[in-house]
Every structure is written in C-alpha cells, then in structure tokens.
Amino acid sequence: MNKFVYTQPVKIWFGAGKLKELGSVLDELEVRKAVLVCGHHYLTHAQTLQQKEPRICAIFSDVEPNPQLSGAVKTAELARANGADAVIGIGGGSSIDTAKFAAAIACGDGDPEAIYHGELPFPEKRLTIIAVPTTAGTGSEVTQVSVMSHGKEKRTINNPVFMPRAAIVDPEMTLSVPPRTTMNTGLDALAHALEGYWSVNHQPISDLMAIEAVRTILADLETAWREPDNLEARSRMAYASLLGGLSFALPKTAACHACSYPLSEDYHLPHGEACAFTLDSFVRINADERLEALCCAVGLSGTAELADRIRSLKEMAGLRMRLADLGEVDLEKLCHDCAVHPLMNNNPVKLSTEQLRKMFEALQ
C-alpha cells in the first residue's frame, strides 16, 4: 500500500434539525459575535434565525450565483464594524465560499484584490468559519477551497485559511430546493466523488468515502428529485454530498471540474450542470481497473453502466447535454481553456486539445 497523509480538521454536526443546535455550536467554539452570509432567497429565514440567536450581529444577503470578491469584502467590513469573531455561511457553495474569503481577510488591512491574485498573503489571523449547506452537492463545508470571481475573472483558491472549524449539515435545509437544482447539485456531488477517486492524488481513506458517496447518490438522487419532501432521501443525499466533499478535499477534482469553468463562464451553465455535462464522457475516458472495481463495489456491471446511469439522470431532469444546447460555441477556445486549466493535471488520462475536441464533438 502506498504511503499517504490524511487530515480532516472540521467538526461535523449532521442530522435533521441540527441547525436548531447552532447556539451550542457557537458556545463550543466560544463565538461572541457572528456575521451571517446568505443569498437573497434565504434572508427571511436568516432574520428569523437572528431573532433566536442574538450573537448573529449582522447579515450579508447579497451573494451572487458566481460570488464576487466585492461581496466578500463587504462581509469582512461588516465583521470588522461589528467586532465579529466568526462568519456563518448558510447556502450553497456561493454563500459558503463568500463566508470563507471574508473570514480570511477580515483581520488584515491588505488590499483584497492583491490577496485574491496571490500578490499578498492572507493575514495570519482569521475569523472562525461555520458552514451550513442548504444543498446536497457542494461539499464546501469540509474543504479549504473558495471559488471567487472578480468581474469576469473566476479563481479557485485552495488555502488552509478557508477550512471551516464547524459544519452543520441539516438535511431539513434542503427540503425547499427545487428539482432541477436537486439534480444539478446531486450530480456535482457525484463528480466530486468520482474525481476524488480517479484523481492522480487519490488515497485509500478518500477512496472509501468516494465509493460510499457514489453508491448513495445512485440509490437516492432520483428519489430526492422526484419526491422533494422525502426527508429520508434528502438525508441520504446530504450524507453523500458530505462524503463527496471529504473524498475530494485532499485529492482535488480533475477533468470534469476543469471543463466546468469555461462551460459556466462562457455558456452560463450552473456549476453542477457544467460538471455533469462531461461527467459520463470522462467515465468512459478514465475507465480502468480501479474504476471498474468502484462500479463493482456499488453494484454496477461496469463503467459503461455507470456512464449510462449518469446520462439517464441528466436526460430525466432535462439538463443540457449537447453542444447545440449551449448556443453558438467557440469550440477551439472551449477546448483550449479546458486543456490549460490546472485541475486537468489531476486527471489520470492526459488529454490534448485535439482529444478534448473529439470528446466535445461527440456530444452532438
């Protein structure tokens, strides 16, 4: 067996109704004041939560779908103005990533744009990060990654300063998620698990969590999509999403996520749908003995069946699957941008721009 190092510093509170224990979590972390970060749609709920928990001293609810650096800066300013020592991110990846970046810069006076571009280091001191996902997909609650945009530029920043101290994973928070988002985020979680498994940086503990995540998603995603109020299916998907986050936190994602960035930036696909766009293609491209073993472990006949199952889920939910669905495509630019993305280096099969072109051309 190869040598490996495994670390997981986030304390996880999991289960239906766990958000009701927020006060106990704040007590344990010795939080005095916290800024809450969420999207517009969650503002009313956030205000209700603030009434029940007075240590929430301010709310920032202007998070954009592709979270902007400006939002993180405003959150950091709110934290400083209120003397907060923690930031709570409630929502999908956008809210949690905003909370992470804000907490990482709030204790310093360096130019946020220079920090964003890596020209200045993050301050040594940072605020406590508490992550509360409302979708079963991002896994951001257990990773040291923040995906942040500045204007049209979008960066995936991997830094220990972004690691939450606590994650509250309450499946009840996902009950209001609409079916299309359920499918998008569920397939994002599946991509996390599969890419963590086939990443060139994979390791045994992460592999085990990836296998369980894949098994659970294939068993429960369709039910969660068809029956939004099914708390058991929602709970199992929340669990699978958590495992998916843990399974890629150290190995990192690979080709599907590399391709997702230009698909999101240039063709406006939501992140999960962008990852799903190439996921079944990369299952076939990356097929090897290890992936066949995963398929056997989750009860499938092989990689062909896994690819077909993914395609079937996309068709079921009416997700975009073909180049024609994207509108006018600059295929040369798309393939170039995918090929040069750093995450492509984690893929077990090395693909040239021409090979990527053939993959996309097959999606007609």
**Structural domains in the chain, sorted by start:** 11-173 (3.40.50.1970), 177-361 (1.20.1090.10)
Burial category of 6 from C-beta neighbours within 10 Å (exposed 0-12, middle 13-18, buried 19 and up): exposed
Count, in order, helices (H) and strands (E) of the chain.
14, 8
Q: Which of 46, 92, 100, 110 is nearest to 72 (CA)?
A: 100
Q: Which of 138, 48, 125, 137 is nearest to 98 (CA)?
A: 138
Q: Name the pTM for this structure.
A: 0.96
Please give the Cα distance from 32 to 55 (Å, whole number). 6
pLDDT value of residue 87: 98
pLDDT value of residue 1: 67
Tokens of 304: 């062909």
Over its length of 364 residues, how does the chain's per-residue pLDDT go in tens digits?
Answer: 678 889 999 999 999 999 999 999 999 999 999 999 999 999 999 999 999 999 999 999 999 888 999 999 999 999 999 999 999 999 999 999 999 999 999 999 999 999 999 999 999 999 999 999 999 999 999 999 999 999 888 899 999 999 999 999 999 999 999 999 999 999 999 999 999 999 999 999 999 999 999 999 999 999 999 999 999 999 999 999 999 999 999 999 999 999 999 999 999 999 999 999 999 999 999 999 999 999 999 999 999 999 999 999 999 999 999 999 999 999 999 999 999 999 999 999 999 999 999 999 999 7
End-to-end Cα distance, the chain: 42
* Total Cβ atoms within 10 A of residue 356: 24
